[in-house]
Amino acid sequence: MRIEIEMEGKGEFITLPLGYNEAIQGLIYNLLPPPLGGKLHNEGYTYGSRRFKLFTFSRIISERYRVREKSIEFKGPIKIKMAFAVDEVGREIALSLLKHRSVKLDKNLLHLRNLTIQERRPIREENFAIRTLSPISVFTTPEKKKLYLTPEDPLFSKLLKENMEKKYALLSGKEEDFDFAIEPRGEYRELIVRYKRGVIKGVHGTFSVRCDPRIFSQIYDAGLGANNSLGFGMVEMVGE
Cα three-residue angle 198-222-144, rounded to 5 degrees: 35
Instruction: Please check whether residue 203 is in contact with residue 235, taking contact to mean a CB–CB distance below 8 angstroms.
Output: no
Q: Is the pLDDT of residue 182 over 80?
A: yes
Are residues 53 and 136 part of one domain? no
Are residues 112 and 211 part of one domain? no
Alpha-carbon distance 13 to 85, whole Å? Answer: 32
Are residues 55 and 35 part of one domain? yes
Q: What value does the mean pLDDT take over residues 11-37?
A: 95
Are residues 172 and 74 part of one domain? no
Q: In which band, very low, low, confident or very high, does the pLDDT at 82 lie, cut at 50, 70 and 90?
A: very high
Are residues 141 and 165 part of one domain? yes
Are residues 67 and 104 part of one domain? yes
Q: For residue range 101-142, what is the model confidence (pLDDT) as tens digits?
A: 999 999 999 999 999 998 777 788 999 999 999 999 999 998
CATH number for the domain spanning 69: value is 3.30.70.1890
Last-in-domain residue among 118, 151, 181: 118
Burial class (CB in 10 A: 0-12, 13-18, 19+), 111: middle
Are residues 63 and 114 part of one domain? yes
Instruction: Please check whether residue 91 is in contact with residue 117, taking contact to mean a CB–CB distance below 8 angstroms.
Output: no
Q: For residue range 191-233, what is the model confidence (pLDDT) as tens digits?
A: 999 898 899 999 999 999 999 999 999 999 999 999 999 999 9
- For position 240, what pLDDT does the model report? 61
Burial class (CB in 10 A: 0-12, 13-18, 19+), 196: exposed
Helix axes 21-31, 87-100, angle to 10 degrees: 90
Are residues 150 and 108 part of one domain? no
Residue ranges of alpha helices (H) inside 123-212 are 154-172
Residue (of 177, 163, 204) closest to 59 by Cα position = 204
- For position 49, what pLDDT does the model report? 86
R_g over Cα of the chain = 18
Alpha-carbon distance 182 to 129, whole Å? Answer: 9
Q: Is the pLDDT of residue 97 over 70?
A: yes
Structural domain range at position 232: 127-237
CATH number for the domain spanning 206: value is 3.30.70.1900
Domain count, the chain: 2
Q: Taking all residues of the chain, what is their mean pLDDT, rounded to a whole number?
A: 94
- For position 119, what pLDDT does the model report? 75
Instruction: Please check whether residue 54 is in contact with residue 85, taking contact to mean a CB–CB distance below 8 angstroms.
Output: yes
- For position 197, what pLDDT does the model report? 82
Last-in-domain residue among 64, 89, 118: 118
Alpha-carbon distance 146 to 77, whole Å? Answer: 36
Q: What percent of the chain has pLDDT over 70?
A: 100
Are residues 161 and 104 part of one domain? no
Are residues 86 and 172 part of one domain? no
Instruction: Please check whether residue 11 is in contact with residue 107, taking contact to mean a CB–CB distance below 8 angstroms.
Output: no
Task: Give percent helix, percent strand, percent coil of the chain, each to the nearest 5.
Answer: 30, 40, 30
Q: Is the pLDDT of residue 24 over 90?
A: yes
Are residues 113 and 221 part of one domain? no
Last-in-domain residue among 73, 98, 118: 118
Q: In which band, very low, low, confident or very high, does the pLDDT at 18 lie, cut at 50, 70 and 90?
A: very high
